[in-house]
Homo-oligomer: A and B are copies of this chain.
Amino acid sequence: MNTYCKFETALDILIGKWKPVILLRLLNHGTMRFSELQKSIPDITKKMLTQQLRELEYHDIVHREVYKEIPPRVEYSITEYGQRMTPLLQAMNDWGVNHIAHLTELYGEERAE
């Protein structure tokens, strides 16, 4: 009866201006250095990149590997546990693609977003 109580939890973890694009990069590209991520997401600041990565790390979605070198090297990747949410992301993506089409049908091309 009281199902759907926790779908807000999934939401919380994905919320954040840059989390979707960060996840996308890491899923498609695999392991990436901090600077690679930054270059691949031109408008993000270091502050935001760090912050969002730390939140994903807390939730065990992203792994942070620090190499004690000079200059420092830090690599980010999706954890094994994080991989397990790809079906959900895929489902959300499919729904999103369909919904954009639905909005276009309702309101026309211009407001399809």
Contacts and interface: CB of A to CB of B under 8 A. Distances in A.
Interface of A: 1-11, 13-15, 20-21, 23-24, 27-28, 59-60, 81, 85, 87-93, 95-97, 99-100, 102-103, 106, 113
A42 to B, nearest CB: 17
Copies of the chain in the assembly? 2
Main secondary structure of the interface of A (DSSP, over half): helix
Contact of A6 (B6, B10, B93, B106): B93
Contacts of A95: 9-10, 85, 88
A96 B9 contact: yes
Nearest to A23: B4
Contacts of A100: 6, 9
